[in-house]
A and B are shown apart, each in its own frame.
Chain A
Amino acid sequence: MAKHVSVSRRIFIFFNYIFLGATAFICILPMINVLAVSLSSSSAAAAGYVKLWPVDFTLDSYKYALSKPEFVRAFIVSLKRVALGYVINILLCILVAYPLSKSKKTFKWRDFYAWFFIITMLFNGGLIPTYMVVRYLGLRDNILALILPGAVPVYFMILLMNFFRELPQEIEEAAYIDGAGYWTSLWKIYIPLSKPALATVTLFIVVGHWNSWFDGLIYMNSMENYPLQSYLQTTVIGVDFNRASLSNLASLAEVSDRTFKAAQVFVGSLPILIVYPFLQPFFIKGLVLGSVKG
């Protein structure tokens, strides 16, 4: 179909592309600037010469960051947290979503349990009582303090429950006649059929664990147990002189504070930047799944 395109439409399209492109550029500009700073020499960065491209290219700040045992240790704590947290979260998410996806007719207690979980989304004890519970259970300085309080991700559980509900009931009924119980049916039918939904939930859980920092800050007494984001919070954002050991100050003079901080920020976001382009379609699907369908 040949379409006539009016002049005003052409002008609109032209400016529309310019506006959208410019906005996208402004959104990414801060990241590019900080990346350029992290790759520049400390004198150029301190003098404010660095714009969008490194000046006097050097990897010194990265070498310095990676040579700090605290930084590497925090990175490893984060990896542990993501792995363990993911396994527990996804397991509990599935084990709760499946029974709740049953109708009230098949599972009499369904509504009771559903409300039991929904209420926690509407109301919670708040920061201090939750902190006290973790403290009295002796979980401080234990990695479980970062995982158990949010062990059931209720929002994603609802998302998965809705996905389970949409699956055709006939398959399970047929399996039941063949002697398959709920465990078999969950394992052999529901999980394989829900791969797209599980992939989306997986990504959000992993990113969530990687990005969490506040729980590490309050539940870990010793900095050795900080995950990377909590570590960066104290070293890059809040300069806490009580905790920074004085021996570092000498080497800080060589690598300027600014380039070093920029390098750490960049390493802290690297895992997300690496997986981001591949996972983006899943994220979009998840966002739409979660918000439009509810």
Chain B
Amino acid sequence: MINNKRLRELPLHLMLLPGVLCTLVFSYVPMAGIVMAFQKFVPVKGIFKSEFVGLENFKYMLSLPNIYSVLWNTVFIAVMKIIAGMVFPIIFALLLNEVANDFFKRSVQTIIYLPFFLSWVILGGILIDILSPSSGIVNQFLSYLGIEPIYFLGDSKWFPFTLIISDTWKNFGYNTVIYLAALTGIDPTLYEAAIVDGAGRWKQTLHVTIPGIMSIVILMAVLSLGNVLNAGFEQVYNLYSPQVYSTGDIIDTLVYRIGLVDTQFSLATAIGLFKSIVSFGLIVLSNRLANKYAGYRVF
């Protein structure tokens, strides 16, 4: 019987084999490749013959003149995106939930999360066009209001806010759908009970609706902790330029430039590793918190 059981499990192992092989080669081998962060890696010598330098690359990373501003930019942009990406969808979902006309509700949903499905290349192309200081529609509108043209993508003062607003534009529809699903999941008898108790619309929102979605709000907030160092490589890469490095350069774009443009592979790996370790710690922490306060488990 025991032999039989092991034999019966064999097909399950076989099913997993191709997936395991791919993951081994393209996820676990690169993890081993992190050794490069502690070497003076030269591609011709390969990973086994390159010189080992200990923490030299990390010391050098901390001596880079722009490293602290890059760290600050990353955290600032990411945190602002997380906040805007929660507040706006929650308000929007609450308002959308008050709409009785089903067609209107569905049309608005369809429109607001269309940008979510377009790549940052497409959205970048659109943004560069509409935000152009000379011919873009946004600055035309501003000049109509008597405001001087603003160089949203080229002025380092404006650039981070352009990132935050355009990120909200892309993603808030998606998040609205999640909160709307939580809102429709609220037990209708709670509303009936509130009405019996003499609660008006506003009181119902305050005492039934908001507590009803509070658990998912907390869950989303806690889980977003893991993204504090993810300021959005794809977006920044498509929108930034050397004029806005001072406020718009983030860890991921720095890693890309140092590693693949300047081919300083070891330094780039070291910076990437630094980010991965901090992010990993944050994800583990956020999952602990989510499990403790919302009973959430990833799997």
Contacts and interface: CB of A to CB of B under 8 A. Distances in A.
Same assembly: yes
Interface of A: 9, 12-13, 16-17, 19-21, 23-24, 27-31, 33-34, 37, 45-48, 51, 92, 95-96, 98-99, 102, 106-109, 113-114, 116-118, 120, 122-134, 137, 148-152, 158, 161-162, 181-183, 186, 207, 210-214, 218, 229, 232-233, 236-237, 258, 261-262, 264-265, 268-269, 272-273, 276-277, 280, 283-284, 287-288, 291-292, 294
Nearest to A110: B12
Contacts of B31: 123-125, 129
A17 B284 CA distance: 42
Nearest to A213: B121
A116 B28 CA distance: 10
Contacts of A161: 299
Nearest to B134: A48
Interface stretch (B15-23, B58-66, B70-78, B242-250): B15-23
Given A13-B98, A151-B26, A20 B129 contact: no
Contacts of A48: 134-135, 140
A150 B130 CA distance: 34
B15 A96 contact: yes
Interface string B1-14: 00000001101110
Given A95-B16, A113-B16, A232 B121 contact: yes
Contacts of A294: 296-299
B189 interface: no
Contact of A211 (B18, B119, B124): B119
Contacts of A258: 129, 135
Contact of B23 (A108, A116, A261): A116
B214 interface: no
A273 B117 CA distance: 9
Contacts of B299: 114, 118, 158, 161-162, 294
Chain A contact residues: over half helix, strand or loop, or mixed? helix
Contact of B98 (A16, A98, A182, A214): A16
Contacts, number: 263
A212 B238 CA distance: 13
Interface string B115-132: 101111110111111100
B95 A20 contact: yes
Contacts of B27: 120, 124-125
A267 B268 CA distance: 35
Chain A CB count within 10 A is highest, among B20, B125, B177, for: B125
Contacts of A126: 30, 34, 255, 269, 272-273, 275-276
B274 to A, nearest CB: 10
B33 interface: yes
B23 A120 contact: yes
A288 B265 contact: no
A7 B260 CA distance: 63
Given A116-B23, A261-B129, A23 B98 contact: no
B23 A129 contact: no
B177 A92 contact: no
Contact of A237 (B124, B169, B201, B280): B124
Nearest to A52: B137
Given A30-B127, A96-B19, A129 B33 contact: yes
A182 B11 contact: yes
B51 interface: no
